[in-house]
Amino acid sequence: MIIAPAGASRIHWPGLRLGSAAKTASIEAEPAYPMPRFSVCLFRCILLLAGATASATLFAQERQLPLATPAGLTLHQVEAAPVSFKGRSALNLTASPAAASTQPAPTKQESGKKKSAAGAGESGRRDHLALVDGLEFTDGTIEVDLAGEPAAGAAGGARGFVGVAFRVQPDRKTYDCFYLRPTNGRSDDQERRNHTAQYISHPEHTWSALREKTPSRYETYVDIVPAAWIHVKIIVAGDKARLFVNHQEQPTLIINDVKSGAGAKGGVALWFEGSTIAHYANLKIQPAR
């Protein structure tokens, strides 16, 4: 109820709207009594805070892309095509012709066959990314179904490298990433099996540099095969990240020193190496609140 002091002619309350003519007539007959300056300021502050809270909530909301089409993605050195793969709608990603023509062949070291030398296979490397539009990611959970296999005619070191990059910077060369080497998963060579899942942080902490400095810390075995759907879940919290494969309760790979640092932020992208035919479906991103 609004009560006007005696002697005033009309109440003026900014933003007030009455739902009936009777109420309007009654108020018009009442005297004017401006809202105190302090109340106006307080009211505006409340509105600003409410708007900021709503924006923050929207910013942290879950993002889901079915990946039946490239909608919602920015392609970097990538070609995308909607396809049906293993009975499901999916997005087929391959290297763009311009990038593929200058892409170096994967080395046997990267495949996990032989011991690497720091920097091996990195010269001329291309970053193939399909970036999620309008997303800034620091911590949270990323889930996606993916599959990778070597392209026809790929060099002997091709392994179907496929994964997810996070905290991607605007230069599209700086990011953290978990990826898989699907053809290693059931190899008869135990050393190759040990290099099935990999963490990297480009451009400085490449697979070869990490393997040379700290063998086995940033890669491990997981039972996967090429050209088959693999469910991947990544949980990032500060400088820690966990990779879960195929709905396992325990992580496949644990990283306790994410190289981008605890407070880093950036985009999320589907990632693959240029010799790979990659398929993706059902991307879900839940930023930490």
- Lowest mean pLDDT segment, chosen from 110-114, 145-149, 263-267: 110-114
Gap between the Cα atoms of 23 and 2, Å rounded: 11
Element at 199 (helix H, strand E): strand 197-202
Which domains does the chain possess? 1-59 (no CATH), 64-287 (2.60.120.560)
* DSSP annotation of 69: S
| Cβ-contact 272, 151 below 8 angstroms | no
Q: What pLDDT is stored for residue 289 in this prediction? A: 84
The pLDDT of residue 125 is 67
Q: What is the structure's pLDDT at 39?
A: 54
Give 10's pLDDT tier (boundaries 50, 70, 90).
very low
| Residue 47, phi then psi, degrees to nearest 5 | -65, -40
Phi, psi values for residue 236, rounded to 5°: -115, 130
Q: Is the dihedral of CA 126, 128, 129, 130 positive or negative?
A: positive
Q: What residues contact 77, with CB distance under 8 A and at least 6 apart? A: 95, 96, 98, 99, 126, 127, 128, 129
Question: Is residue 19 over pLDDT 50?
Answer: no
Indicate the range of 75-79, 102-106, 152-156, 179-183 predicted with least confidence. 102-106
Residue 21 burial class via C-beta count within 10 angstroms: exposed 0-12, middle 13-18, buried 19 and up: exposed
Report the pLDDT value the prediction gives residue 1, as an integer from 0 to 100: 47
Q: Is the dihedral of CA 64, 69, 73, 75 positive or negative?
A: positive
Report pLDDT digits (tens) over 206-261.
999 999 999 999 999 999 999 999 999 999 999 999 999 999 999 999 999 999 99
Choice between 51 and 232, residue whose per-residue pLDDT is larger: 232
Residue 99: pLDDT band by 50, 70, 90 thresholds?
confident
Closest CA to 165 of 77, 225, 101, 104: 77
Asked if the model's pLDDT at residue 46 lies above 90, the reply is: no
Mean pLDDT over the full length of the chain: 83
Taking alpha carbons only, the member of 179, 261, 245, 269 closest to residue 218 is 179
DSSP state letter for 174: -
pLDDT for the residue numbered 223:
98
pTM of the model: 0.76
* pLDDT per residue as tens digits for the range 133-192: 999 999 999 999 999 999 999 988 999 999 999 999 999 999 999 999 999 999 999 999
